[in-house]
Chains A and B, each alone.
Chain A
Amino acid sequence: MQITRTQSVLAHVTLIVSILVIAFPVFFALITSTHSFQESFSFPPKFHVGSHLLENYRTAWERVNLGRLLFNSTLISVAVSAGKILLSLLAAFAFTYFGDFRGKTTFFILILITHMLPLPIRIVPTFELVEDFGWMNTYYALTIPFFASATGTLLFRQFFLTVPNDLADAARMDGAGPMKFLWKILVPLSKTNMLALFMIEFIYMWNQYLWPLIVTHTDDMRVVQIGLKMLLAGEEQAAEWNVIMAGTILAMLPPLIILLILQGSFVKGFAMRQEK
């Protein structure tokens, strides 16, 4: 399709405006995190880099034990993402390749239904279950309830359906059993989907607030989102936005790093599929 000059200009203007709108809060957070408490409240707001950068970040880090919280969040986000990928791979594999087992459709619908129920609706029964298991204030409580993933199951199932049946037949002729077919053929082919799911689920887990709040009660088991909230309500005085923004920027870093690392292979994965 030929793009006219007007269209090109229009597209660029739209994109630039969108980027400004999206990036401004981040930029403002960054700027605020370099100013002193007083400066952060000045009006008109300051748009230059201040001199309190290290001080603010150190305060945020120390006040709520941010190092530990970042570690916790990273740990549970990685564990949940990996767990979801593993479980949904296996579930999708069963749904796609194991003929017509009894209640296949029922099971599938049940899984889809869980997709339609957001966490807050399930929170009370799940809480009771976790409490009965004696998992309160442990990593189990923070991870295992999230392992099942309708999104992931659906994603992998849809992908498996596009894998030609001949490939499964060829693997059978080549003497590969079902599990070997899964690990040696399907998993490598699903790499792009796995990375996408990992990214989505990592960020989803990273942003969890309510569930970690109710199943943990000691400071060393808290996650980073709770830490931010603690920064906000930590003192009797007015919110120290400079410190909070410093904490926010720190909390943004791990997902950002993951995104940057995975982005390369993610794009490559899509390119590979184009090639086919």
Chain B
Amino acid sequence: MAEIKLDQVNKRFKKNWVVRDFTLTVADKEFVVLVGPSGCGKSTTLRMIAGLEEVTSGEISIGGRVVNHVPPKDRDIAMVFQSYALYPHMNVYKNMAFGLMNRGVPRDEIDRRVKQAAEILGISDLLQRRPAQLSGGQRQRVAMGRAIVRDPQAFLFDEPLSNLDAKLRVQMRAELAKLHERLQSTIVYVTHDQIEAMTLADRIVVMKDGKIMQVGPPLEVYERPANRFVAGFIGSPSMNFLDVRLVEEAGDLWVDGESFRLKVPRHRAPAFRGHVNRPVIFGIRPEDVKERPGDALPEGVEPLRAEVDVREPIGSEVIITATVGSHAFTARISPNVAVRVHDPIDLAVNMNKMHLFDPESEQALNGL
């Protein structure tokens, strides 16, 4: 197992910079997830670590060894592909053994490792089958088995679950987490699914347009997004962004959207003082906008009256899109609240969880 280090890595395809100034150290045994919309350079970054793409500039080292010019097979890493990339004409056993055979591992050692990996993954009775005879989930396991038998320094996963149906994806996600615990291996994992990122990662790397937007543990990224992009990308339904002004009145700061006003909690105010009387982007997550519980509101929770525009019951809760003046936002309310479309609704906004962003740089203003 080993540490993976990327130092100022750049990648250019013809005239396009696909990855820019990527600097990251993945600690030994760490599970790091690269997440971002398609085309953000996350897969390219993974392929550069694998050695399948050359770096345009910068340095990649694995286990303290610079590998820029080391071919993939000598980097001692294994990769699981989105399409699984199983060899269609070989049975499961041979698919898993192929890499070891190429490395001249003795036959009985190959046999031992393949059988052990098959047991870990619960595919021991499938060893003689061909990929075409397997279900999606089984193929996925074989692809992982092919990586495990190599006992590599690190694992790379390129959207491994995106070809599975929703139910299987949840199951495999849990198994992946267990597998990581068991193997105690360094993992770099690419996905566009932020739930996968949140549930699996020790640390998340959010990318956009080839650049790192934020690196941190899942909850930290969720609670303290560094900029508007991260705030909007992580979390579902995504965070509300409202164009407002920050005003000061009687010693308190207020978020002023013309048609509504929300007081900034005292403990959050100092960080924002420099932006008084300027336009800002007010960010609040849907789960921090709920139905108003009663007349007495807890500290930092502000009332807001709005009109219901769209109502989407999902069982455990109802997601509504509401409007106040020219602003529209989503809120998550209890299914017990009887509201219909076009009804007015009294909401409570938990301003303790508010975010402010600079409208130009889109960076978070929070001095959290």
Interfacial residues, chain A to chain B (CB-CB below 8 A): 164, 166-167, 169-176, 180, 184-185, 188-189, 272, 275-276
Contact = CB atoms under 8 A, between A and B. Distances in A.
Interface in B49-85: 50-52, 71-73, 77-79, 81-85
A175 B83 contact: no
B81 A166 contact: yes
B99 A173 contact: yes
A175 B52 CA distance: 12
Instruction: List 8 A-B pairs, minimum CB-CB distance, nearest first.
Output: A174-B99, A175-B73, A166-B85, A170-B85, A175-B102, A188-B89, A166-B81, A166-B83
Contacts of B52: 169, 172-173
A167 to B, nearest CB: 5
B88 interface: yes
B132 interface: yes
Given A180-B102, A272-B132, A275-B132, A173 B87 contact: no
A169 B132 contact: no
Interface string B111-151: 00000000000000000000010000000000000100000
Contacts of A167: 85, 87
A164 B163 CA distance: 15
Interface string B29-48: 00000000000000000010
B167 interface: no
Contacts of A169: 47, 50, 52, 79, 81, 85
B132 A174 contact: no
Nearest to A272: B132
Given A169-B81, A172-B52, A174-B73, 11 more contacts: A167-B85, A169-B47, A170-B86, A170-B146, A172-B72, A173-B79, A174-B146, A175-B102, A185-B89, A272-B132, A276-B88
Max chain B C-beta neighbours (<10 A), residue from A170, A173, A188, A276? A173
B67 to A, nearest CB: 13
Contacts of B72: 172-173
Interface residues of B, number: 25
A98 to B, nearest CB: 15
Interface in B157-176: none
Given A188-B89, A189-B88, A189-B89, A170 B102 contact: no
A175 B146 CA distance: 12
B98 interface: yes
A237 to B, nearest CB: 58
Interface in B244-295: none
Contacts of A180: 102
Contacts of B182: none
B238 to A, nearest CB: 31
A116 to B, nearest CB: 33
B82 A173 contact: no
Contact of A175 (B47, B85, B86, B99): B99
B103 interface: yes
A18 B103 CA distance: 57
A167 B52 CA distance: 12
Contacts of A276: 88, 132
A63 B133 CA distance: 56
Max chain A C-beta neighbours (<10 A), residue from B77, B78, B88, B103? B88
A275 B88 CA distance: 11
Contacts of B84: 166
Contacts of B132: 272, 275-276
Contacts of A185: 87, 89
Contacts of B89: 185, 188-189
A176 B52 CA distance: 13
Contacts of A166: 81-85
Nearest to B143: A170
Given A176-B102, A180-B102, A272-B132, A170 B79 contact: yes
Contacts of B86: 170
Contacts of B87: 167, 170-171, 185
A174 B102 CA distance: 7
B83 A164 contact: yes
Contact of B103 (A164, A171, A175, A189): A175
A173 B50 contact: yes
A185 B103 CA distance: 16
A95 to B, nearest CB: 20
Max chain B C-beta neighbours (<10 A), residue from A175, A180, A184? A175
